[in-house]
Amino acid sequence: MLVINYLKTDAIVLRTYEYSETSYVLSLLTRAQGKLNALAKGGRRPRGVFGGEIDLLAEGQAVLFLAHQAASLHLCTEFCCRARRLGLRSSLDRSSAACYAAELAAAASPEGDSQPQLYDLLAHTLDGLETGDVAAVIAFFQVHLLRLTGLLPDLAACTGCGKRIGTQGALYSFQKAGVICPGCIRDDKEEQERGRSGEGTMAMRVSGATISLIKLALAGKLALDRTRVPSRLAIEAVGFLGRVISAAFEHDSLALRPMLAAMRRR
């Protein structure tokens, strides 16, 4: 039996797929039920029932009919846009950062599972990216995405011996998902073997300044819209956190490299 549920919820358009000449399939992040894919019949018509309101990364109120049958597509019958966020298109670094945030929010959100904090994080990030410091906004997003998914590594102490990591920074091991102090590296035969065999991608140096910036972001002191941190430092943190997230989510982000390239060119 086909059971259909009506749902009215805040939603962000993560992706649009052309389904027919007049219709889209939308990938939505909803506040009420996480990620959902839904058919928007007539969504591509500028003067159709959606009135041209469907746009990539736009946020609004969606009306959905949920089909509780695995093979069925949900149906979106209304989308009332509240924030179109045209500022995201004003430069390549803003647009590529917005795509990165949307891609990761989608990767972190199980289908049909409500995660209002993740929804709010993406919404605030997209707002911040319209006018704010792009690298600082993304660093804040990455830190809190890791926190919300329970995957934020402890960067304050060595995973081997528990020694506090100071301002000199440390080596981050992707295999151990944590930092290692110089003493433990000396004692770690496996790590040395990896170093000799050229498996350099398994570990990465993280500076004390990057660790401090991550702590600031975690404490909420890296405000989304009026942050001023040196851009070189913020970009370094974004590159590091990007690799931590890729390893933790087992998801190779398509948008990470283009975003970092656009940030560095700015």
Interface contacts to Zn ion, rule CB under 5 A: 158, 160-161, 163, 181, 184
**Min. distance of Cβ 191 from Zn ion in angstroms?**
11
- Please say which residue, 25 or 184, places its beta carbon nearer to Zn ion: 184
Distance (Å, whole) CA 2 – CA 219: 47
- In whole angstroms, the minimum distance from the beta carbon of 167 to Zn ion comes to 16
Cβ at position 175, least distance to Zn ion in Å? 15
Q: How far is the CB of 184 from Zn ion (least distance, A)?
A: 3
3-state secondary structure of 10: strand
| C-beta closer to Zn ion: residue 121 or 171 | 171
Q: Specify the residue, 137 or 184, whose C-beta has the smaller distance to Zn ion.
A: 184
Least distance to Zn ion, CB of residue 157, Å? 8
Q: Output DSSP code: residue 157.
A: B
The residue with tokens 């209002």 is 116
Minimum CB separation of residue 189 from Zn ion in Å reads 14
DSSP state of 90: S
Instruction: Tell me whether residue 23 or residue 159 sits nearer to Zn ion (CB atom).
Output: 159
| Angstrom distance (rounded) from CA 213 to CA 141 | 13
CB neighbour burial string for 202-221, b if at least 16 within 10 angstroms, e if fewer: bbeebbebbbebbebbbeee
What does the chain come to in residues? Answer: 266
By beta-carbon proximity to Zn ion, the closer residue of 20 and 175 is 175
Nearer to Zn ion, 60 or 160 (CB): 160
Pairwise CA distance, residues 158 & 137, whole Å: 28
Q: How many helices (H) and strands (E) does the chain have?
A: 8, 8
